[in-house]
């Protein structure tokens, strides 16, 4: 039986992913701040350490890891909180559970990014840089200055870049672990409902073009995550899979794929 750790398992895409995996006969260890096997606050250093320690005490190996835990950018929510929950709550778990993954069977990790990375303007790059430098205090400070509405895509861009930096390295690809990101667009979950209620960002959410004409469902996203965790996705490495009803394709038609600007042959 495969064992998969899912953060943010109490709601939305994390809960849908848990349900899909369990329906498939897989064992899920859910991590969340409520209603989970491991109840912690991933926005804190101690909470992340406790999550890694508890999972390590429960099993010698894991076959999958999905990092769904995250919070939305809202006008009255500090940006620093998003750097801690969304970014550090993701990459600390990826790094901290990597050794358990390396001992798993055809192990796979999937991080949840967002199409706000490419579709939302004015991303504060200082937040991205401090996140990727691993400087949580500086990232929090820059996030507080930018506010959480703009910090949100910065945390998700940093997640995507962390994944692309690490996926093709000895520790991940070289250890037989696939590492990829999913970048959802608008998906009907409690997080989206909360965002819609925000008087500033709410109206903008529904003004966003979605060419297929509707929001996604948590179950549709769980289906993509389930595929990336499974045997048919072993050739995926460092991909950022946009699942957004066509928003990114419509807004950035010619920006991707971009031709190679410089050659990196170094294998770290």
H or E, element range at 7: strand 3-7
Query: In the complex with ligand NAI, which residue's Cβ is closer, 18 or 130?
Result: 18
Q: Tell me whether residue 191 or residue 228 sits nearer to ligand NAI (CB atom).
A: 191
> Is 152 one of the catalytic residues?
yes
Applying CB under 6 A, which residues contact ligand NAI?
8, 10-14, 32-34, 41-43, 68-71, 85, 112, 114, 184, 186-187, 189-192, 218
**Is the CB of residue 27 less than 8 Å from the CB of residue 4?**
yes
**Beta-bridge partner residues of 6:** 30, 66
| Alpha-carbon gap, residue 157 to 169, rounded angstroms | 19
| CB 208 to ligand NAI: min, Å | 10
Please identify which of the residues 152, 162, 172, 242 carries the catalytic annotation: 152
| Helix H or strand E segment including 161 | helix 148-166
- Which one, 167 or 225, has the nearer CB to ligand NAI? 225
3-state SS string for 177-191: CEEEEEEECCEECHH
- DSSP state, residue 88: I
**For ligand NAI, which is the closer residue by CB, 34 or 214?**
34
| Angstrom distance (rounded) from CA 178 to CA 190 | 29
Residues serving a catalytic function are: 152
């Amino acid at each position: 039986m495969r064992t998969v750790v899912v953060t943010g398992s109490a709601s939305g895409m994390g809960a849908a992913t848990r349900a899909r995996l369990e329906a498939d006969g897989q064992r899920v260890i859910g991590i969340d701040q409520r209603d989970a096997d491991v109840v912690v606050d991933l926005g804190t250093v101690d909470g992340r350490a406790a999550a890694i320690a508890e999972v390590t005490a429960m099993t010698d190996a894991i076959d999958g890891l999905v990092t769904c835990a995250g919070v939305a950018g809202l006008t009255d929510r500090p940006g620093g909180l998003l750097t801690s929950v969304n970014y550090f709550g993701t990459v600390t778990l990826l790094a901290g559970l990597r050794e358990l993954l390396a001992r798993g069977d055809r192990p796979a990790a999937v991080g949840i990014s967002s199409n706000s990375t490419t579709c939302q303007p004015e991303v504060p790059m200082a937040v991205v840089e401090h996140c990727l430098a691993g400087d949580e205090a500086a990232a929090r400070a820059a996030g507080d200055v930018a506010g959480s509405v703009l910090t949100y895509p910065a945390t998700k861009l940093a997640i995507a870049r962390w994944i692309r930096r690490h996926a093709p390295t000895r520790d991940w690809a070289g250890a037989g672990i696939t590492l990829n990101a999913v970048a959802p667009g608008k998906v009907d979950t409690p997080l989206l409902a909360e965002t819609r209620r925000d008087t500033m960002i709410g109206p903008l959410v529904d003004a966003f073009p979605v060419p297929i004409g509707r929001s996604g469902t948590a179950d549709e996203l769980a289906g993509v995550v389930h595929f990336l965790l499974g045997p048919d996705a072993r050739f995926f490495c460092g991909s950022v899979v946009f699942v957004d009803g066509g928003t990114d394709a419509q807004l950035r038609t010619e920006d991707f794929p971009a031709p190679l600007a410089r050659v990196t042959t170094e294998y770290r």
